[in-house]
């Protein structure tokens, strides 16, 4: 979780050009509540993109150095924020520190947004639910 961040603000347009929307605090709190109830829930993997300055092409990506890269979340930003808050609240609980991600290298802004839209509109979404 420590290497996953929101995309940087684009100085030309004054917002995060890789995001399709800002994280909504009510939705983040709702996700956080559900994650507390069922921290082992299976959720859709987050979509992240490697910082282009660290890894300009797919051929440059080194799995052995994957913990050293900076990743920008392009899909799942509200869940990432919920997990980040839970890590602060429960620093000794390991479930909140790790996430499953699909990693992309060198996506255009348009491709990143298409991936994010697909992530949000996917019919095959796992629900975070409490197993009784």
- Show pLDDT as tens, one digit a residue, over the chain (132 residues): 789 998 888 888 888 878 877 888 998 999 899 998 887 776 778 899 999 999 999 999 999 999 999 999 998 888 889 999 999 999 998 888 888 899 999 888 888 888 887 877 654 444 443 333
128 lies in a domain? no
Can you give the pLDDT at residue 122? Answer: 56
Residue 126 lies in a domain: no
Are 112 and 104 in contact, with CB atoms under 8 Å apart? yes
Residue at token pair 């990506």: 61
**Residue 103 within a domain:** yes
Q: In which domain, by residue range, is 61 found?
A: 4-121
Query: Per the structure block, which two tokens stand in for 12?
Result: 């030309």
Report the domain count for the chain: 1
Residue 22 lies in a domain: yes
8 A C-beta contact, residue 83 and residue 23: no
Longest dimension (CA), the chain: 50
Question: What's residue 44's pLDDT?
Answer: 77
Angle between helix 25-37 and 77-89 (nearest 10): 60
For residue 127, being part of any structural domain is answered with: no
- Which residue in the block uniquely carries the two structure tokens 């109830």? 37
Cβ atoms 20, 44 nearer than 8 A: no
């Amino acid at each position: 979780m420590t290497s996953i961040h929101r995309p940087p603000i684009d100085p030309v347009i004054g917002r995060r050009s890789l995001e399709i929307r800002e994280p909504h605090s009510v939705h983040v709190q709702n996700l956080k509540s559900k994650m507390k109830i069922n921290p082992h829930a299976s959720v859709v993997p987050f979509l992240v993109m490697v910082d282009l300055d660290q890894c300009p092409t797919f051929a440059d990506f080194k799995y052995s150095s994957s913990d050293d890269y900076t990743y920008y979340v392009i899909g799942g930003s509200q869940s990432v924020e919920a997990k980040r808050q839970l890590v602060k609240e429960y620093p000794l609980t390991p479930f909140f520190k790790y996430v499953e991600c699909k990693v992309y290298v060198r996506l255009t802004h348009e491709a990143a947004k298409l991936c994010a839209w697909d992530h949000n509109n996917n019919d095959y979404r796992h629900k975070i639910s409490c197993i009784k």
